[in-house]
Chain A
Amino acid sequence: MRGALLIILLVAGSVAGLLWGQVALAPGALWQGLVTGEGPAALMIGTIRGPRVGTALGAGAVLGLSGALFQTLFRNPLAAPDILGFTSGAGLAVVVSIAFGLVAPMPLVAAAGGILAALLVTGIAWRRGHRTPPLSIILVGLGMGFFTSALSNFLMTLLPQAEAAEAQRWVTGSLAARDWGHVAQVWLPGAALLLAALGQARLLETLELGDDLAAGLGLRVEAVRRGLAATGVLLAATGVAVAGPVPFVALMSGPLGARITGATSVAGRLLAAAGAGALVLMLADLVARSALPGIQLPVGVMTGILGAPYLLWRLSREMDRGKL
């Protein structure tokens, strides 16, 4: 069971996430804080690092799951919600709501933005009477990502400085100053969407055989595809709502999870991607907030530094295989 390896990594990573930061705790103090709920460690865990690690785990898991869902659906390792522009669409929606002072729950705003971006991408890539090739969707999605990021930046230049700083931190992807409310906000819908994704795993498994064979096996292909895409977009939006549009976590987690666990079934790969996403985002955040003394980098900067080389490597591999 190589799945156990991923669980051990997650537990070890979480402990490290609670221990380290700008101020390191001793393991004994952590233990005491967890058991007794008293002392400086308990305060640190209860108000700062606990919710931060909890949010990172939850947001990473839903982003990773979303990425694996789209990668399987499009049969392309580049098809992840961050590459397809869905997360930056969700980010733009949040910036818009800050700029115009809309009073609406952040997850709903982010979800609306993500869904709108997804609809626009599929709408632009769609040609009458033809199956849209995944590559057209990916290219349109890349364009959508640049466009929505540019719009976000433009809006931020118009904002007063304090709000602009808040929006800026938001679109980079940040886990600073999270509270237990954020943890609940990502874990509750995240758990429901995980169940929805696992419930659709068998459909996805059939769809993997190609549209014609899947239809021959009784699948209503278009309806199934829409259901899976909707689940994927909502998962991505759930993550963006609490962590901002952190880049590359969704892209990397599917292949990384499969590599760590060796999972081959669709349900196994989805679970592995969720675990890998949680691990990546949590470790990236740990490094971002403890690597430079006195400076806490936004986590999005860290995943960008990690993710960009991965994307380049992946692109060159796809070109070698003649798929791009």
Chain B
Amino acid sequence: MSLTAEALTIGYEGRTVIDGLDLEIPEGEVTAILGPNGCGKSTLLKTLARLIEPASGRVLLQGDDIHASHSGKLARRLAILPQDPLAPDGITVGDLVRRGRTPWRGFLSPWREEDAAACARALEAVHLTHLAERPLNELSGGQRQRAWIALVLAQDTPLLLLDEPTTFLDLVHQLEVLSLLRQRNRDTGLTVVSVLHDLNMAARFSDVLVLLGRGGLVATGAPETVLTPDNLERAFGLAARVEPDPVTGKPMVCPL
């Protein structure tokens, strides 16, 4: 399921954040959107997910303009996990994940076998099957984030967008979340697009990086071609060396 931005201009609170951006999100791959604070990473992701209306330009999902599409039908093709979803009081993990089936259920239609199966698969993918009956607020931060991911996985879309899914997690839980997303990509061909902060984590778990700077797109492509000292200087104003990661061989950013 291809997602493309055409001449996208996005204003936010009276200022233009993204100006005339063309971007193609490759199908079946894991993409990370990177850049300094305030460069419009999250704004771009939300616009790609039709949560923000662009000032001009279009976002096409397999040729359909998503801002002109039926929101309910779109939710069967594209899922987004925002940065700060709200947990209803006392909700259990299983109930939370079941809400991911919303786009597949009609008005008053009963819970079906396939809904249950999708939820079971989603819980399995995030290794929370054994905690399904537990209240969400009794879980650790990492487990809780996995429960939210299970909700959007249960939505069963070919395309999943995530806004900073690892920001409040410690290193181990970051690894856990990013590797389970990549595992899901390898297993099912799910296209994953996340906004991330950690450059080295992004290089390690992504097929494609999109690097934004204050002035718009700096570079996009494989981690090796995007994470260069030159691009880092342009995007962040950061002087850095880039060495191969001793474990994975992917580029590793070492600030000077």
Contact = CB atoms under 8 A, between A and B. Distances in A.
A179 interface: no
Given A208-B86, A212-B85, A213-B85, A129 B71 contact: no
Interface string B52-93: 000000000000000000011111101111101111111100
B46 interface: yes
Interface residues of B, number: 36
Contacts of B102: 202, 206, 217-219
A264 B91 contact: yes
A293 interface: no
Contacts of B72: 218-219
Contacts of A317: none
B99 A216 contact: no
Interface in A104-121: none
Nearest to A218: B75
B51 interface: yes
B100 interface: yes
B84 A209 contact: no
Q: Which of B14, B73, B80 has the most CB of A within 10 A?
A: B80
B51 A215 contact: yes
A40 interface: no
Interface in A211-241: 212-213, 215-220
B51 A216 contact: yes
Contacts of A75: 86
A23 to B, nearest CB: 45
A209 B100 CA distance: 10
Contacts of A219: 71-72, 102
A215 B49 CA distance: 9
B51 A218 contact: no
Contact of B84 (A129, A199, A210, A220): A210
Contact of B86 (A202, A209, A217, A264): A209
Nearest to B72: A218
A206 B101 CA distance: 10
Contacts of B74: 218
A223 to B, nearest CB: 10
Contacts, number: 69
A206 B82 contact: no
B145 interface: no
B81 A213 contact: yes
Nearest to B14: A129
A199 B46 CA distance: 29
Nearest to B82: A212
A215 B163 CA distance: 14
A208 B51 CA distance: 17
A231 to B, nearest CB: 15
Contacts of A209: 85-88, 99
Contacts of A206: 99, 102
B82 A213 contact: yes
B99 A210 contact: no
B85 A217 contact: no
Contacts of B46: 212
B85 A210 contact: yes
B114 interface: no
Given A75-B86, A210-B85, A218 B71 contact: yes
B155 interface: yes
B103 interface: yes
A218 B73 contact: yes
24 contacts: A75-B86, A199-B108, A206-B102, A209-B87, A210-B82, A212-B46, A212-B80, A212-B85, A213-B80, A215-B50, A215-B51, A215-B71, A216-B78, A216-B80, A216-B152, A217-B79, A217-B99, A217-B102, A217-B155, A218-B74, A218-B75, A218-B76, A218-B102, A220-B71
Given A213-B85, A216-B49, A216-B78, 4 more contacts: A129-B14, A199-B108, A212-B51, A264-B95
